Amino acid sequence: MGSISQHLAELDASNFKVTRSTTLRDVPLPGSPEELSHSHCTDHMVTVRWTDTNGWETPEVKPYQNLSIPPTASCLHYATECFEGMKVYRGYDGKLRLFRPDCNGQRLSNSAQRSSLPVFKFDQLKKLVAKLMQIDGPRWLPNPGTFLYIRPTMIGNGPHLGVQVPKEALLFVIAVPWPDISSKGLRLYASTPDTIRAWPGGFGYAKLGANYGPSLQAHGQAKAMGFDQILWLFGEDRQVTEAGASNFFIIWRDASGKLELVTAPLENQLILPGVTRRSVLELVSERLSTQSVGSLEPLKVVERTLTIAEIEKAAEEGRIVESFVSGTAYFITPVAMIRNVNTDISTLGPNGESAGYTTLIKSWLEHIMFGKEQHEWGYVIEDGEN
């Protein structure tokens, strides 16, 4: 940071320029082709411009519209892009809530830094989202127990084709109805050594578009073979990192018979530090690590490197109890099986039944998200003046 940066304006979401849409869009019905398209956004969007001479400008709420950027824009050539995935929930008490939005704000700012884009005060992101939802929430999210998907994004959009740190950037926030897909059990396809998602010193820990483009071909091939997601392995020892856009968990008995909830660690920066992942670990530590819940025995929470060979061995020895993935988009979803090269590994418990841990953890989170449990992780969006 040079000395000029001291005079740059901070991102400040206490003040907005608002332009209301005069032609409101149709709200898609649940399950309709528009909803399933994942592209039918709400009436408005938030944009905030940044320049390296002035810093962050006043945020704007304006009708949803195409962006205009020069063909030389940095993001189109050098992948100066990062994003977030959040949801806004309509609670059973009628209130709109975000789930731990400061975690997303912090992560977006970290991702921006890793992709040479400007950082910002992370607590401002939730205010940008809140403003958009004060305007679009009443019409687009009227029903308790439903949600919209929110996509905050930052791009380098300056016109300089020369290879350099972007001199201009745009932060925007859009909201889109998202189908509530629930699966009884995902089928994961373990990645092969010729396709690596992330590596030490890389950027697997940041939510960058650059992590995704190069992984979509493998995803498409796995889909064509009837699998739901790639399970990304890393290294000679085939470490299990994460699955698609979600973190991976397994519940098994260790060699001594003790029940563990195991997931990959953050320290080596290979995986995305999911907000849902963190919440699962914190809730299980707090509520299920020292006491049973109903008939469910306590779980020891373990963040460590685990390999596909360990999972295969545990399956052979009948020690796997359950497996699931976590993430905002697909929430908490059980995993039924993993194909590794030519071996199909069942990750269901004895007799193909789940013990109930995944369901319990999912319900804890849902209660917080939809306001059935008042919790500090639920950020209530106050009504706007509509």
Chain residues in the site for ligand PLP (CB under 6 A)? 85, 207, 242, 245-247, 272, 274-277, 326-328
How far apart are CB 160 and ligand PLP at their closest, in Å? Answer: 28
Pairing of strands 246-253, 320-327: antiparallel
- CA neighbor of 287 nearest in space, from 298, 302, 276, 277: 298
Question: Residue 106 phi/psi, 5° resolution?
Answer: -65, -45
Nearest approach, Cβ of residue 146 and ligand PLP (Å): 18
Bridge partners for 17 per DSSP: 60
Q: Considering the complex, what minimum distance in angstroms separates the CB of residue 277 from ligand PLP?
A: 6
In the block, tokens 């968990």 appear at 249
Shortest distance in whole angstroms from residue 327 CB to ligand PLP: 3
Closest CB to ligand PLP: residue number: 274
Q: How far is the CB of 87 from ligand PLP (least distance, A)?
A: 9
Nearer to ligand PLP, 52 or 102 (CB): 102
Is the CB of 332 or the CB of 348 nearer to ligand PLP? 332
Nearer to ligand PLP, 119 or 329 (CB): 329
Q: What are phi and psi of 214, to 5 degrees?
A: -70, -5
* Minimum distance, C-beta of residue 261 to ligand PLP, in the bound complex (Å): 16
Nearer to ligand PLP, 276 or 347 (CB): 276
**What is the C-alpha separation between 91 and 89, in angstroms, rounded?**
6
CB of 302 to ligand PLP, least distance (A): 19
| Separation of alpha carbons 56 and 168, rounded Å | 10
Tokens of 158: 């300056």
Q: Which long-range contacts (CB under 8 A, 24 or more apart) does 69-72 make?
A: 69/155, 69/157, 69/170, 70/157, 70/159, 72/159, 72/160, 72/161
- Specify the residue, 49 or 375, whose C-beta has the smaller distance to ligand PLP: 375
Nearer to ligand PLP, 59 or 152 (CB): 152
Distance in angstroms (rounded) separating the CA atoms of residues 363 and 365: 5
Q: Where are the beta strands (DSSP E) in the chain?
A: 17-18, 44-51, 55-56, 60-63, 81-83, 86-90, 96-99, 147-156, 168-177, 186-190, 229-234, 239-243, 246-253, 259-263, 300-303, 320-327, 331-340, 343-346, 378-381
In this structure, the strands spanning 86-90 and 147-156 are: antiparallel
**Tokens 């806004």 belong to which residue?**
88
By beta-carbon proximity to ligand PLP, the closer residue of 56 and 249 is 249
Burial 58-68 (b: 16+ CB within 10 A, else e): ebbbeebeeee
Q: Which is nearer to ligand PLP, 85 or 156 (CB)?
A: 85
Q: Among residues 135 and 198, whose Cβ is nearest to ligand PLP? A: 198
Give the Cα separation of 193 and 325 in Å (integer). 22
CB of 242 to ligand PLP, least distance (A): 5
Smallest distance, Å, CB 247 to ligand PLP?
A: 5
